[in-house]
Amino acid sequence: MKNSTNFKIMAVASALALLPLSSCKNSAPKEAETKTPAREHALVFDCDPGTDDTYAMFLLKSTGNAPDYTVATFGNSTIEYTFKNLFVLNNYFDVKSSVFRGVEKPYDGHEVTCGDFHGADGLAGLSDEMVARFGITQAMVDSAKSYQDLAKEILSTDKVDYIAVGPLATLGHIIKEYPEAASHINHVYIMGGGINSFNKDGDTEYNFFGDGIADTIVWASGVEISLFPIDVTYLCAQVELSFVDSLDFGKYPEMETIIRQNSKSNIATGQSEASAIIHDALPVLYYKFRDKFKMEDYKLTVNERGHLEKSDAGRLVHVAVDMERDLLKNEIKKALEVR
Ligand SMILES: [Ca+2]
């Protein structure tokens, strides 16, 4: 996550379109199928890992909300790495979710890159070593289920909570291609967008600029949205280096490398003076600790460049405006103390 002011996203037409492999196996006639009873509830974690995505998933697990489904999209690294990194994180945190490949490029095809903000591999240079350590093969990554498969899981679940901490491309595609999916989604928790900051039309927050058309699809779907814009993450998701220095990383030494990569980039780009900024943690913390947040309801429109505007013509969105200030640090400390 970062501000696109510092890393201009270049519009490059991409001819690369990877088509999902279709299943060719014979299936029984539809009327002979036994209808699977609907699952009552499921949690989806949709990410583009990413140093702050890594902390978000760590906190989901440590607060007792390990996701049922995880999906990675383009964003904080190349899609090759974000997919692999999702497998890494599931192994590293012992999360037994079903893993899905998300959408690989935005609707308008522009190239999304944040360079080496999170390390070129998204995980502070640790991805290849962790991929090897956990025995993750390219074949495993290539054969992961698609976002269409995730859509089918959503359709067979009564109430889905969906946490999105990357571009909204995958959720946008699911809602557009499977419109009934929206009625199975109980609530979407989104890190993205800016209200007062990083919200100039054409130069908006990274996740929302990542796929503005997908943003408009999610907006129009009517799903209930709680939004954690960059205004509140700059205010509440800073983890000072002095605090990082005080932590015992115990069985998670990689988490120290990862948070230091994040702070290094935020400091180098002038986004913080001496802190990491773990933007993606906020929707995860809200999922567990609603009473620690101050939320306000706004009517907001979003356009195809991810620009948000308060307007009577907009839709109602619950917007986080503040959080108990030590919550993130306390929860990181607690998560690391688990032996
Ligand atoms: Ca992210």
User: From ligand 1's centre to the CA of 138, what distance in Å?
Assistant: 22
User: From ligand 1's centre to the CA of 28, what distance in Å?
Assistant: 40
CB 65 within 8 A of CB 34: no
Give the residue-averaged pLDDT of 158-182.
98
User: From ligand 1's centre to the CA of 55, what distance in Å?
Assistant: 10
Distance CA 210, CA 188 (A): 18
User: From ligand 1's centre to the CA of 247, what distance in Å?
Assistant: 23
Quick check: 30 pLDDT over 50? no
User: From ligand 1's centre to the CA of 234, what distance in Å?
Assistant: 14
User: From ligand 1's centre to the CA of 150, what distance in Å?
Assistant: 19
User: From ligand 1's centre to the CA of 281, what distance in Å?
Assistant: 9
12 pLDDT tier (thresholds 50, 70, 90): very low
User: From ligand 1's centre to the CA of 50, what distance in Å?
Assistant: 6
User: From ligand 1's centre to the CA of 57, what distance in Å?
Assistant: 10
User: From ligand 1's centre to the CA of 25, what distance in Å?
Assistant: 36
User: From ligand 1's centre to the CA of 252, what distance in Å?
Assistant: 20
pLDDT in tens, 75-127: 999 999 999 999 999 999 999 999 999 999 999 999 988 889 999 999 999 99
The sign of the CA dihedral 176, 151, 112, 287 is positive
Domain boundaries, the chain: 39-337
Give the residue-averaged pLDDT of 191-205.
93
Instruction: Report the share of the chain in percent with pLDDT over 90.
Output: 86
User: From ligand 1's centre to the CA of 54, what distance in Å?
Assistant: 8
CB 308 within 8 A of CB 302: yes
User: At the topology level of CATH, where does 39-337 sit?
Assistant: Inosine-uridine Nucleoside N-ribohydrolase; Chain A (3.90.245)
User: From ligand 1's centre to the CA of 52, what distance in Å?
Assistant: 6
User: From ligand 1's centre to the CA of 14, what distance in Å?
Assistant: 22
User: From ligand 1's centre to the CA of 134, what distance in Å?
Assistant: 22
pTM of full prediction above 0.85: yes
User: From ligand 1's centre to the CA of 280, what distance in Å?
Assistant: 6
User: From ligand 1's centre to the CA of 178, what distance in Å?
Assistant: 24
- CB burial string 74-106: b at 16+ within 10 A, e below: bbbbbbebbbbbbbbbbbbbebebbbbbbbbbb
pLDDT in tens, 258-304: 999 999 999 999 999 999 999 999 999 999 999 999 999 999 999 99
User: From ligand 1's centre to the CA of 34, what distance in Å?
Assistant: 39
